[in-house]
Structure 1
Amino acid sequence: MSSIGPEPRIAGSKFSKFLIPSETYNVDDFFKNLPASKWSLGTYFNEIIEGPDSDFAFDQLLTNFLESIESINKMNSIPISIRSFCVNYIKWLKSLSGKAIIQSCREFFDAKMNLEKKKAINSVVKESVNVTAQTKSFQASLQPFVLSGAEVLKSMPPEILEDTCYVTSDNDDTNDDDHISYNKSIYMKDPEYFDNLVNNVDLSYIGREEEPISASTSTIPIVTSWDSFIIDDIDILKVFGCLRNSLPKKSPEVHPQYWGILDLTGQHKPTKKRFMNKWDDLVNNFKSDIAWNMVELEQFETNFFDNIEDSEAQKRVPILHAHLIILKSYLEHLKLPINEGELMTHFVAPTFRMSIDQNQKKFRKLWCEQQLVASQERRRVDQDPNDDRARIGQKTDLIITLPTGPVLEGFICEVSGGLPAGCPKKIWTDKLKIMVGMRDMINRIIKTFPGLLSEDYMKIVVFGCQVIGIQINLYAMDVRAYGIYRFGIIDKVFLPASTQELSAYESVHVMLRSLEHRLSNLMDYCSELKVKHARLRRKRNYLYQEDNFAFTNNTPNTSPKKKLRSETNK
């Protein structure tokens, strides 16, 4: 390796002002906001330090910088001069000169972070001196956080938790930004609430989503019940409460914890930072509980994908073959860009219609901006029927309902833009919309069958999906403790991008067939809950509570007065 050498720069060329397009994936915003002439490791860390608080360590940020450069180098649409710079810069960082720059940046970054910590401590000490009006709130902030009214909340099912939480504010003003009740009012009435949040998203809080991984065996002690959620002596409930307490003053509603959701995809930086010490254990425990497994295709189906042009293989799967012929026709005549509606009509809808419940006998699929009944019922809570118009549920691109009585929703899907995909802010708000929709779906199942054991509710798993270009992300959600909804990615596949990739549709087909299997399990489990709930009618005292709790406009307006039945009452 060379011990000396100048740092590669793009200067004096026609590409010195070049910016990476804002819609580009797997590239840090640094390369989208600063011209190519300013691209360097030192400038990158200066931007990190001068910007919002960093949620990652130096090595993670360095990896992000290197991966961005490598991604740029692989893009054929990027000018050759820019790609050559990327190659040279990676080589230079491996030289002694480059390593020296890395070490210098590390020392500067660590020193700056230590200084910020000292400032934060001094700020707390300074505020604590004012022991008059602030004494009570300061002492409260030093106590381990539990959700307000913990003793009452432990006796309540999770669906009655308010869509509010605490917001950090440096001032005592009364601007609308500080009043979540204002945001809640809009959420309760506006069916396009999440679509209007795009401009409120601060991308400095949003990172990269982790890849889906399989669950592994763990020896870490874990306690999960309705009243406690502990991993290796770490009280997850208290840590999550601290996370909710640390919501930013501006636009708190774009953060998952505002809605009581624990984002385990790794994309929400503050969440991952708060749980960093036990992150892998937390994710692994979620994957173990969800137990996502792929179904095995029939032999004639695998033969078809292995010999996709073979007429004999095609005869065994005529419907699947017809679907791929239509898909091939679209790909042959595809002219980019296409909007979200075209992507939904030509690619997404046929795919879900083909690979989930092929004969359309098990489930009902609702397409294109249909309202989610679960969120509709949530919005009707405390509604004045004399003053307010009927509130409709949030609009969703695809809903799959379960043929139970009453009809419950088990799956939702959002398409985030067309081809190319939507902007990062649009993608994040769509993902947030999926999270809240899935939470409402779980709540509606619990409301439909109240009074059961808490363990019965903890086994409910619903699913959601986000389509980003040709990428399909599959998510799952369950509920733990009283009001923590765990949300994580369980699978990711890609639609064929050309006629040469038609055989790759097998991964999409397998994932959706596996999803169909899990939705069938959810349908059976809801039927089981219905039977258990019916047996509760044998108790007279429960009949009275049920009639007052569960059947007021199909939505509870008050919480039950008695606790969920414990194990001792089984």
Structure 2
Amino acid sequence: GNEKERSSFSVEKSTGSRQTHNNSKRKLGNQSDYTDYEGLALLFDESNEEALMESIDEKTLAEEDKLPLMREEGRSQYMREDVVEAFRKYQSRIPKTRRAYTPAYWGVFDLTKESLYGCKEFTEDDLQQLSQDFADHIKWKPESVTKNVEDYFDSNCEKVDNDQELRKFDRHVQFMKVNMNSFQQMLPEEQLKMTSSFPLFHGAFNSSRIKDVWGETQALSTNDARNEKANPFKKARMGRKVDMKATLAKTSNKFEVIYGEVVGGLGPLGIPMACRKKRFLDKVKLMIIMRDSINRLLNECKHVSEKTRTSLIVYGWLQVGLELNFYAMDWSGSGIYRFGLIDRCRIPADEDDCFMLEDAYCILKSLENKSLETETTVKQLFSENTK
């Protein structure tokens, strides 16, 4: 069907009736071809980047909102029928010229609110409520640290005890320290990545069940998405690469649970090179890659309860200069993917500020644990699918 590439499945066991579902499917069909390989080619072909950025009006981009704190008693719930209808209406009103870089066009509900310019279908209160529901599902909170780890950061990463994991992290921090003076001057993207986020992730992640790959690396999920139509000429020009991806090594399909993008290097005085538009464009690409990862798995597991399908969560991060933003996405049924900003931190540019790394450490430890929770969900999907 026309909506295939964008949402990849219809809701077989949705709370809405079959009739409503067919209606919304029909409405979608009228909107234009959501398979939209051209739209994807436009987004992911670097030669188009300048032209695309030209067409983005910076005034339409809002500051990103972080998701609210989760409520302990909050329970995850399906998208209500009226929310789905309102989202469909908003989708249908996206001007043709803005489609390729508007997340909602791709089925992504951007709860950072950055891209919701001109969206009259949801009030501020609606969005707040939807963000809260999403936060209650993600259940994100940074790890709290033990006394020895706290002491380590208090000593500005100079006094390390015999804790093996901490010693491993410290070796990576020392490597970062050696390079920190270069964070105050011009630095190409590759070098920034390999001297900041790379050692940080590598030092903090310890699980052998998570395998991270760095450098321009192909996102598998998008590979599948483009090859569904098996047109060999389209294939080559639509490869979608990320700067980092983390794979769950113990899942049968080597599920890709985290994607990361470094958006440009550093300019004079260590100021980020990437303009606002470039940052936004990379974020939209990240959303589509995260969405495709969910799609790829749910396409393999068609015979699974709605509850298990909607419990799948994937993560992404963007680095702009020395700032790191962390995102989460789930599929909430009805071809809608919720996306939100779960946390952010900053990498210090001076050896004397290494205590600041405690934030990053806590976030990454939590991200590692959340990825392992996703591993459990992925395994559950496969086992339910074969029953």
Common topology (TM > 0.5): yes
Q: Provide the residue aligned with 2:65 in structure 1.
A: 210
Deviations 1:67-94 (A, max 9, x none): xxxxxxxxxxxxxxxxxxxxxxxxxxxx
Please point out which of 503, 519, 522 is paired with 2:371.
Answer: 519
* 2:183–2:349 Cα contact (<8 Å) kept: no
* 1:260–1:485 Cα contact (<8 Å) kept: yes
Do residues 282 (structure 1) and 130 (structure 2) align? yes
Do residues 297 (structure 1) and 150 (structure 2) align? no
Query: What displacement does 1:184 show?
Result: 2.5
Q: Provide the residue aligned with 1:198 in structure 2.
A: 53
* 2:62–2:115 Cα contact (<8 Å) kept: yes
Q: Provide the residue aligned with 2:259 in structure 1.
A: 412
In structure 1, distance between residues paired with 2:234 and 2:65: 42
In structure 2, distance between residues paired with 1:180 and 1:502: 50
Within 5 Å, give how 1:119-198 maps onto structure 2.
Answer: 153-155=10-12, 184-185=37-38, 187=40, 191-192=44-45, 196=49, 197-198=52-53
Please point out which of 273, 288, 297 is paired with 1:436.
Answer: 288
In structure 1, distance between residues paired with 2:149 and 2:184: 31
Within 5 Å, give how 1:70-149 maps onto structure 2.
Answer: none
Which structure is richer in relative contact order (CA contacts within 8 A, separation 6 or more)?
2
Deviations 1:472-522 (A, max 9, x none): 111111111310100011111111121121011010011001000011111
Amino acid at match of 2:311: K
* 2:181–2:349 Cα contact (<8 Å) kept: no
Please point out which of 316, 326, 338 is paired with 2:187.
Answer: 338
Deviations 1:337-380 (A, max 9, x none): 212112111111111111122xx622221212211110110111
* 2:290–2:329 Cα contact (<8 Å) kept: yes
Amino acid at match of 1:205: T
Query: What displacement does 1:262 show?
Result: 0.5
Amino acid at match of 1:441: S
Identity of aligned residues (%): 23
* 2:180–2:349 Cα contact (<8 Å) kept: yes
Q: Provide the residue aligned with 2:321 in structure 1.
A: 469
TM-score by length of 2: 0.83
In structure 1, distance between residues paired with 2:320 and 2:102: 20
Please point out which of 363, 366, 391 is paired with 2:210.
Answer: 363
Do residues 265 (structure 1) and 116 (structure 2) align? no
Q: Provide the residue aligned with 1:329 in structure 2.
A: 178
* 1:195–1:430 Cα contact (<8 Å) kept: no
Do residues 509 (structure 1) and 357 (structure 2) align? no
Q: Provide the residue aligned with 2:248 in structure 1.
A: 402
- C-alpha change, 1:414 and 1:208, in structure 2 (3 Å) is same
Query: What displacement does 1:193 show?
Result: 6.0
**How many pairs were matched up?**
360
- C-alpha change, 1:371 and 1:432, in structure 2 (3 Å) is same
In structure 2, distance between residues paired with 1:479 and 1:194: 31
SS at match of 1:251: helix
Amino acid at match of 1:155: E
Amino acid at match of 1:330: N
In structure 2, distance between residues paired with 1:351 and 1:195: 32
Deviations 1:455-485 (A, max 9, x none): 1101001111111111111111111131010
SS at match of 1:250: helix
Amino acid at match of 1:211: K
SS at match of 1:187: helix
Deviations 1:132-153 (A, max 9, x none): xxxxxxxxxxxxxxx99xxx94
TM-score by length of 1: 0.58
Amino acid at match of 1:522: T
Gaps of 5+ in 1: 1-146, 168-178, 536-570
Deviations 1:189-216 (A, max 9, x none): 9853697233332223211101343134
Within 5 Å, give how 1:26-37 maps onto structure 2.
Answer: none
Deviations 1:306-327 (A, max 9, x none): 223654x355432222222221
Amino acid at match of 2:189: E
* 1:195–1:429 Cα contact (<8 Å) kept: no
Amino acid at match of 1:509: Y
Query: What displacement does 1:395 show?
Result: 0.8
SS at match of 2:156: coil
Q: Provide the residue aligned with 2:311 in structure 1.
A: 459
In structure 2, distance between residues paired with 1:331 and 1:447: 44
* 1:375–1:437 Cα contact (<8 Å) kept: yes
* 2:303–2:384 Cα contact (<8 Å) kept: no
